[in-house]
Amino acid sequence: MNKHNDSERTTHFGYQTVAESEKANKVAEVFHSVAAKYDLMNDLMSAGIHRLWKRFTIELSGVRQGNRVLDIAGGTGDLTRKFSRLVGPEGEVVLADINASMLKVGRDRLLDKGVAGNVRFVQADAEALPFPDNHFDCITIAFGLRNVTHKDRALESMLRVLKPGGRLLVLEFSKPGNPLLSKAYDQYSFTLMPLMGKLVTNDAESYRYLAESIRMHPDQETLKAMMEEAGFARVSYHNMTGGIVALHRGIKP
């Protein structure tokens, strides 16, 4: 499904099958639609727990003064803001997002909070990152990998721009281990999430897509194998909230 030269290939957009060439535009439409209320919806949908998931990601990143960090699909800038403080004036954080609406919301929000000096904003596609080889000490992608058409290409691109010894952290919805939790989570995702989307953003369809995209994302072991296949070493993952979310970590050899 991932041959580079076949323009007629199809991929998943939630539960729909679409031409690969269409997926990026369809994902863009979703995030243009939800950008302004994205943070509010995250708080509502996760009861605020997404903040704890992100805090754990920061702790595991090992980022320190003077580091150069890339926050892919950085959206509204939660991780970027924390990294900006950690790397200090000698370091740099690049907030990258393929979606102009999300990038603008993130930039405005960070500027409002006085974060500016060591942060750059770049509109970029995770599959073809516009940065030099061996450039970053750490890369994070939080709740973004499932929206990428060719995850293998994105992982290879991330590996390329990491310094040897650099770390990739992938925070993403995953597969709960407990069947009862899984059933409850399905009910919540396909009933409450679109309903909240309708009430808060007047857009049930975008949130239905987000729920479906979570189900189509590789499970914990599959993503671990994909990271190893891309060339990452010492790949491990931590399940959070019963496996509803997993944090994968890999090192560039």
Task: Give the annotated binding-site residues.
Answer: 76, 97, 125-126
Helix (H, G, I), strand (E, B), or coil: what is residue 237? strand
Are β-strands 136-142 and 68-72 bridged in parallel, bridged antiparallel, or unpaired? parallel
Name the binding residues for S-adenosyl-L-methionine.
76, 97, 125-126
- The answer for residues whose C-beta is within 8 angstroms of residue 157's C-beta and 6 or more apart is 126, 127, 128, 129
Q: Which two tokens stand for residue 37?
A: 């209320």
CA distance 79 to 75: 9
* Distance (Å) of CA 12 to CA 7, 23, 52, 152: 15, 8, 30, 15
Could you give the strand order of the β-sheet that contains 92-97, starting from the edge strand earlier in sequence? 119-123, 92-97, 68-72, 136-142, 162-173, 245-251, 233-240
Q: How far apart are CA 67 and CA 63, in angstroms?
A: 6
